[in-house]
Amino acid sequence: MLTKRIIPCLDVNNGRVVKGKKFQNLIDVDDPVKLAKYYSAEGADELVFYDITASNEGRNIFLHLVEQTAEEVNIPFTVGGGIRGIQDFHDVLRAGADKVSVNSAAVMNPEIITEAALKYGRQCVVLSIDAKKNLQGQWNVYINGGRVDTKLDALEWAVKGEMLGAGEIVINSIDTDGIKDGYEIELTKSISEVVSIPVVASGGAGKREDFYKVLTEGKADAALAASVFHYGEIKIYDLKDYLYSSRVPIRRTE
Amino acid sequence: MIAIIDYGVGNLKSVYKALNSLGFHTIIAKKNEEILNSNALILPGVGAFRDAMSQLSSSGLKEGLLKSVEVGKPVLGICLGMQLLFDKSFEDGEFDGLGLMEGEIHRFDKGLKVPHMGWNHLKKHIDDPIGKELKDNEYVYFVHSYYLKTKEHQNVIYWCNYGMEFPALIRKNNIIGMQFHPEKSGKTGIQLLKNFGELVG
């Protein structure tokens, strides 16, 4: 049986893993390669690296880290952040990433999804959507690290993304990001019901039950989290044991 | 020496790194000469079937591959690389494959989430040295939208289930295909690559 995936996410800034709340107040956590190795050994099903550095120099450090990580771990990993064009896809895949996640660039230029899917295959194109609830109770797509409201409807954008060639969707709730009070269940479930590609829930994990809820009620295929893992509040090994005993299909490692 | 065929598609680094760290001398081969000098081959692949087939032909490396198969060298196709070993694929049309094993590549049925992406377990069908040291129901990492339909069930070493049963690992004499990515499948995948390396005499 295909299992649900648990994915630690590493936000990397100038070569270090950092974590903020609602996309702000960044604090330093650890060395990304070290963390990647640790999570892989602990039973993580996949890893995500987000490059949140803006400078060119930072970008080079980042690509070097992707390379080092690819050498150290033998589970799949996705790279995102600052992906602007097909050259960026080329660079990160060459550095050893398995999938590339696009966010703002795809909103500005949706053809990038199709172009990358045709060139590298759908399976390595991940559409990452940052969404925030509007006053009407629907979700708008935000770009530029949660700073700009595009007024696009998140559900419509997810459907369009699949049509354009995305092989997976990461849905990140800005309202719940870093708050540790649970994933945005309704949003995740709605997205999962309108697309027929895997959906990864992101933003809000605080306790084991949050994972259970989003993987069952929220219909997510995978759950992504950062700070609860980085600070050791939840051990991946224990989380998987708990999910397994709660009858969620999960891969357990020795 | 194991040669990974570099015909311009896919990320070859992780397979390369895994085999070398297991102690198998492995190279990334861009020339037929290198392929012919090796003792075993790996045919990787991501992307689309048609493009991969045409790149394999236009690179000229198909020749070295076919000669190697003929002389009985162990050959391992991974993911799309496995699919290329069969008669034909229906990925966005109908295209001929290498025809080294009997079977066709079809898209997963409607109603299933596609790609079949993530960790799924292997169900043993036949005891074979390629599965040495593996326990029952070990998990490996899959990413694919098409699967193999074959009548040669006697060659299926492991099945996988996603909506229905399909071959996850198939072997006909010296030719082996893995639909999943052993290089991304943690310890289980490393063991499978080790088993392949050990087939090389």
Per-residue pLDDT tens, chain A, 254 aa: give them: 999 999 999 988 888 887 765 555 556 677 889 889 999 999 999 999 988 876 777 778 889 999 998 888 999 999 998 899 999 998 998 888 999 999 999 999 999 999 999 888 889 999 999 999 999 999 999 998 889 999 999 999 999 999 999 999 999 999 988 889 999 999 999 999 999 999 999 999 999 999 999 999 999 999 999 989 988 899 999 999 999 999 999 999 87
**B47 interfacial to chain A (CB closer than 8 Å):** yes
Q: Write the residue in A76, A118, A122 that is nearest to B141 by C-beta.
A: A76
Q: Which residues of A are catalytic?
A: 11, 130
Domain map of chain A by residue range?
5-245
Residues in chain B: 201
CATH T-level assignment (fold) for domain A5-245: TIM Barrel (3.20.20)
Using a CB-CB cut-off of 8 Å, the residues of chain B touching A196 are 112-114
pTM of the model: 0.94
Dump pLDDT digits (tens) for A70-110: 888 999 999 998 899 999 998 998 888 999 999 999 999 99
- 8-state DSSP, B108: P
Q: Write the residue in B14, B121, B141 that is nearest to A1 by C-beta.
A: B121
Q: Residue A9 corresponds to which tokens in the numbers above?
A: 């996410």
Using a CB-CB cut-off of 8 Å, the residues of chain A touching B18 are 74
- How far B191 CA lies from chain A's nearest CA (Å)? 12
Are residues A70 and B14, on separate chains, in Cβ contact within 8 Å?
yes
Q: What's residue B201's pLDDT?
A: 67
Computed from CA positions of residues A219, A221, A227, A228, in that sequence, does the dihedral angle turn out positive or negative? Answer: positive
Q: Residue B133 corresponds to which tokens in the numbers above?
A: 């040291």
* Structure-derived torsion over alpha carbons of residues B124, B125, B128, B132, reported in degrees to the nearest 10: 10
Q: Which residues pair with A12 in a beta bridge?
A: A17, A51
Q: Write the residue in A120, A196, A253 that is nearest to B47 by C-beta.
A: A120
Q: Residue B200 corresponds to which tokens in the numbers above?
A: 């090389």
CB A101 within 8 A of CB A78: yes
Are residues B47 and A3, on separate chains, in Cβ contact within 8 Å?
no
Number of other CB atoms surrounding residue A140 within 10 Å? 18
**B184 interfacial to chain A (CB closer than 8 Å):** yes
CB A50 within 8 A of CB A11: yes
Q: What's residue A53's pLDDT?
A: 79
**Of B76, B84, B102, B74, which Cα lies nearest the Cα of B12?**
B76
Using a CB-CB cut-off of 8 Å, the residues of chain B touching A1 are 120-121, 161
Are residues B119 and A5, on separate chains, in Cβ contact within 8 Å?
yes
CB A105 within 8 A of CB A112: yes
- 8-state DSSP, A3: P
Q: What's residue B14's pLDDT?
A: 86
Show which of residues 83-102 on chain B sit within 8 Å of chain A, judged by CB atoms: none
Q: What's residue A253's pLDDT?
A: 82
- How far B145 CA lies from chain A's nearest CA (Å)? 8
Using a CB-CB cut-off of 8 Å, the residues of chain B touching A120 are 46-47
- How far A197 CA lies from chain B's nearest CA (Å)? 5
Are residues B118 and A118, on separate chains, in Cβ contact within 8 Å?
no
Q: Is A29 exposed, middle or buried (0-12, 13-18, 19+ CB in 10 A)?
A: buried
Q: What's residue B87's pLDDT?
A: 98
Using a CB-CB cut-off of 8 Å, the residues of chain A touching B143 are 76, 98, 123
Q: What's residue A227's pLDDT?
A: 85
Q: Which residues pair with A105 in a beta bridge?
A: none
Q: Write the residue in A3, A120, A168 that is nearest to B120 by C-beta.
A: A3
Domains and CATH numbers, chain B: 2-199 (3.40.50.880)
Q: What's residue A23's pLDDT?
A: 54
Q: What's residue B92's pLDDT?
A: 86
Q: Which residues of B are catalytic?
A: 79, 181, 183
Buried b (16+ CB within 10 A) or exposed e, A3-16: bbbbbbbbbbbeeb
d(CA B150, CA A14): 50
Q: Residue A52 corresponds to which tokens in the numbers above?
A: 């949140």
Are residues A122 and B11, on separate chains, in Cβ contact within 8 Å?
no
Q: What's residue B8's pLDDT?
A: 79
Q: Is B53 exposed, middle or buried (0-12, 13-18, 19+ CB in 10 A)?
A: buried
Using a CB-CB cut-off of 8 Å, the residues of chain A touching B145 are 122-123
Q: Write the residue in A93, A119, A123 that is nearest to B115 by C-beta.
A: A123
d(CA B175, CA B131): 14
The rounded average pLDDT for each run of 10 residues, N- to C-terminus, in chain B (201 residues) is 88 88 96 97 88 93 97 96 97 95 95 95 97 94 96 97 97 97 95 96 67
Are residues B117 and A253, on separate chains, in Cβ contact within 8 Å?
no
Q: Which residues pair with A130 in a beta bridge?
A: A142, A172
Backbone torsion region of residue A210, taken as left when φ is above 0, otherwise alpha when ψ lies between -120 and 50, otherwise beta = alpha
- 8-state DSSP, A55: S
Q: What's residue A211's pLDDT?
A: 98
Are residues B162 and A197, on separate chains, in Cβ contact within 8 Å?
no
